[in-house]
């Protein structure tokens, strides 16, 4: 079964989701999430380690 993006009903994406979307390894996905979360923290947002807002991800990755 082919997965659709953005995943239905998900507000946050995990490293596995990011890895599948970008076709990269999970360790690379964690690095991408860490970088995006650092940007969010600098702007005063609360973040969750290992997860990224689906909306923020799609806006900043340009998919």
Assess if residue 53 is contained within a domain.
yes
Assess if residue 27 is contained within a domain.
yes
The mean pLDDT value for 2-30 works out to 84
At 10, the pLDDT band (50, 70, 90 cuts) reads: confident
Over residues 26-57, the pLDDT tens digits come to 999 999 999 999 999 999 999 999 999 999 99
Total domains present in the chain: 1
Whole-number Å distance between alpha carbons of 21 and 4? 9
Pick the closest to residue 51 from 32, 20, 3 (CA basis). 32
Assess if residue 3 is contained within a domain.
no
What range defines the domain where residue 45 resides? 12-61
What is residue 7's predicted lDDT score, i.e. its pLDDT? 60
């Amino acid at each position: 079964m082919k997965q659709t993006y953005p995943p239905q009903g998900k507000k946050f994406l995990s490293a596995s989701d990011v890895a599948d979307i970008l076709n990269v390894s999970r360790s690379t996905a964690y690095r991408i999430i860490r970088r995006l979360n650092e940007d969010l923290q600098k702007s005063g947002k609360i973040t969750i380690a290992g997860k990224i807002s689906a909306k923020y991800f799609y806006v900043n990755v340009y998919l």
